[in-house]
Amino acid sequence: MEYEDFMTGHTFRSRPLDLAVDTIGEQDLERVIAWLREYPRLTMANETRRFEEAWAKWLGTKYAVFCNSGSSADLLMYAALDSSGRAGNRKVVVPATGWVTTVAPSMQLGFEPTMCETDAMTFGMDAASLEAILEKEHPDTVILVHELGVPNNMGPILSLREKYGFNLLEDCCASHGARHQGQMVGTFGLMSAFSFYYGHHMSTIEGGMVCTDDEEMYYHLLMLRSHGWCKDLPKEEYARLVAKHGVDDFHSPFTFVIPGYNLRSTDLSAYIGMIQLEHLDGIIAKRVANHLMYQEIIGDKMRYAKCMPGDVISSISFCAIAESTEQRKHIVSVLNDNEIDTRLFTAANLGQHPFWKVRYGAFEGPVATTLYDCGFFLPNNQALDRGDIEHICDVVLKAI
Ligand SMILES: Cc1ncc(COP(=O)(O)O)c(C=O)c1O
């Protein structure tokens, strides 16, 4: 099916083997319609709180703060460090492989970012390169990405945190349900970010969540999300701040304690999120199984991201690496001929993109650069079955 994008005018084809398919099904929409017929409140209120509690329980953190995108969740993590005074020397290590908004808030908020090379196995953060930066720069913050559902090898990274001491932030925007040695990603760091955009493990249309066990961070996240006011805080903390600043009852609901944003989502999205949570474990199980099928069929005939033994990959796409840019070009054209969706391996090497290289110069890490030059996606989503994956692998393996 072909359709024209109303904003750009580009023509898109909806193919049988798309990278992403919607997780919001017809029956889910029926439930949303029935709920809307009750004329509920739509702006952020009780549904949001319900969704946050359910998400925190699912993940295993004390607190969760729902916002309007994964990018906003990333921004909120940096902003909470900043406004709480816990950003330390404001130096931050950022990954070469990730998404632009993993890194962009550090630049917008005046942190001093240093880019770190990508690990050749997980495509997460390379621990040896990280240690070299820690040794030289002594940064107080490190943000890593569990790249497209492949958990970082957390062992060495956590040892480095013990040794050097830094705030660890986890960008889990595309890795819901991935596990390192049984522990869910998003529970290792001081804070973690998730995305609920279309095509991810679950969707709230747009949406994101910041998760933490740290009470102080939680309070800052709540204030930063809503203009910097304190009325979204739990009662006791609200009362404490109102008393501290000597504000009377009339002024207190609209007293702005810190410079904030409006990064809220809505109760409509939260209601959809509650329905999506019912499907989440099933969708993750499907993605995990599909990923294992890819690994089993492709074997050692191509390079792709792998995890540590005992870890679980909950992938959003299967990330493969061609032997050369020329070979990738050929594979991409064969995939196109066979109506199998593909694209650049997210940003692959963020340090090759203008937003970074114009300011800091290109990042030349060999692993990240190989991903930029030779990496590509193969579809993994909950709609694919063994036959589809055998077909995709057959097309790719014949092409190489
Ligand atoms: C690692 C990572 N971080 C952040 C984002 C941004 O999430 P959103 O699209 O919800 O803003 C994405 C999006 O896929 C991502 O993969």
CATH number, domain of 183, equals 3.40.640.10
Q: Is 346 helix (H, G, I), strand (E, B) or coil?
A: coil
How far, in Å, is the centroid of ligand 1 from the Cα of 174? 7
The catalytic site residues sit at 200
Percent of the chain with pLDDT over 70: 96
Q: Looking at the structure, do residues 131 and 196 belong to the same domain, yes or no?
A: yes
One domain, residues 259 and 318: no
Whether residues 157 and 238 share a domain: the answer is yes
Atom number of ligand 1 nearest to Cα 145: 1
Do 253 and 135 share a domain, yes or no?
yes
Q: Assess whether the C-beta atom of 69 lies below 6 angstroms from ligand 1.
A: yes
Amino acid at site 252: S
Helix/strand/coil for 306: coil
239 and 375, same domain (yes or no): no
Residue 169 clears pLDDT 70, i.e. is over it: yes
For range 271-300, the mean pLDDT: 96
Q: By the 8 A CB rule, do 176 and 196 touch? A: no
Best residue for ligand 1 mutational test, from 77, 99, 371 (most atoms within 8 Å of Cβ):
99
Ligand 1 atom with minimal separation from the 98 CA: 1
CA distances from residue 158 to 129, 149, 169, 215 in whole angstroms, order as listed: 14, 19, 12, 22
How far apart CA 27 and CA 43 sit, in angstroms, is 23
Is 174's C-beta closer than 6 angstroms to any atom of ligand 1? yes
**What CATH number corresponds to the domain at position 341?**
3.90.1150.10
Q: Report whether 175 contacts 185 (CB < 8 A).
A: yes
Residue 352 resides in a domain: yes
- Residue where a domain terminates, one of 212, 247, 270: 270
Q: Return the bridge partners of 193, or none.
A: 171, 210
* Residue 49 forms part of a structural domain: yes
The mean of the pLDDT values for the chain is 95
d(CA 22, CA 2): 17
Q: Over range 165-187, report the average pLDDT.
A: 98
Ligand 1 centroid to Cα of residue 238, in Å, is 32
Q: Do 332 and 262 fall into the same domain?
A: no
Closest CA to 121 of 325, 380, 313, 303: 303
Atom of ligand 1 nearest to the CA of 146: 1
How, if at all, do strands 167-171 and 141-145 pair? parallel
Across 46-60, 181-195, 349-363, 380-394, least confident range? 380-394
**Calpha distance 175→147 (Å, rounded):** 7
d(CA 358, CA 364): 14
- What are 2's two structure tokens? 């072909």
Instruction: Establish if 305 belongs to a structural domain.
Output: yes
Angle in degrees, 0-180, between the axes of helices 154-164 and 127-137, rounded to the nearest 10 = 10
Q: How far is the CA of 196 from the centre of ligand 1 (A)?
A: 9
Q: How many residues does the chain have?
A: 400
**CB 102 near ligand 1, within 6 Å:** yes
Q: Which of 118, 170, 197, 377 to mutate to test the pocket of ligand 1 (most atoms within 8 A of CB)?
A: 197
Query: Which of 239, 270, 301 corresponds to the end of one domain?
Result: 270
Q: Report if pTM > 0.85.
A: yes
How many Å lie between the centroid of ligand 1 and the Cα of residue 99?
A: 6
Distance between CA atoms of residues 284 and 292, nearest Å: 12
Q: Across the chain, where does the E strand assignment appear?
A: 2-4, 11-13, 63-67, 91-95, 112-116, 141-145, 167-171, 179-180, 183-184, 191-195, 208-212, 303-304, 317-321, 375-379
**123 & 237 share domain:** yes
- Take atom 10 of ligand 1 and give the residue whose Cα is closest: 70
Written as six digits, the tokens of 367 are 């692993």
Examine the domain organization and report whether 95 and 207 are in the same domain: yes
- Same domain for 303 and 228, yes or no, is no
Task: Say how many domains are in the chain.
Answer: 2
Does the Cβ of 97 fall within 6 Å of ligand 1? no
Q: State how far the Cα of 339 lies from the Cα of 322, in Å rounded to an integer.
A: 19
Q: Which domain holds residue 130?
A: 26-270
Residue 3, pLDDT > 70, answer: no
**DSSP secondary structure string for all residues of 34-81:** HHHTT----BSSHHHHHHHHHHHHHHT-SEEEEES-HHHHHHHHHHHH
Please answer whether residues 376 and 345 qualify as being in contact, where contact means their C-beta atoms are separated by less than 8 angstroms: yes
Rounded distance from Cα 195 to ligand 1 centre (Å) = 6
Q: Write the pLDDT tens digit of every residue in 81-126.
A: 999 999 999 999 999 999 999 999 999 999 999 999 999 999 999 9
Per-residue pLDDT tens over the stretch 360-381: 999 999 999 999 999 999 999 9
Distance between CA atoms of residues 166 and 89, nearest Å:
11
Biggest alpha carbon–alpha carbon distance for the chain = 73
Would you state the pLDDT for residue 72?
A: 98
Distance from Cα 354 to the centre of ligand 1, integer Å: 18
Q: Report which secondary-structure segment, H or E, holds 97.
A: none
Please indicate whether residue 377, judged by its CB atom, sits closer than 6 Å to ligand 1.
no
Same domain, 48 and 163: yes
Whole-number Å distance, alpha carbon 400 to ligand 1 midpoint, is 31
Q: Contact at 8 Å (CB) between 100 and 350?
A: yes
Same domain, 298 and 249: no
Ligand 1 contact, 70 CB (< 6 A): yes
Single-letter amino acid, residue 96: A
8 A C-beta contact, residue 30 and residue 16? no
Cβ(145) – ligand 1 distance below 6 Å: yes
The domain boundary residue, chosen from 213, 235, 270: 270
Indicate if 230 and 346 belong to the same structural domain: no
Residue 12 domain-assigned? no
At residue 4, the pLDDT reads: 54
The yes-or-no verdict on residue 175 having pLDDT over 50 is yes
Q: Is 175 in the pocket of ligand 1 (CB under 6 A)?
A: no
13 pLDDT higher than 50? no
| 3-state SS, residue 201 | coil
Mean pLDDT over residues 328-337, rounded? 96
Query: Given the CA of residue 69, which atom of ligand 1 is nearest to it?
Result: 10
Is the C-beta atom of 99 inside 6 A of ligand 1? yes
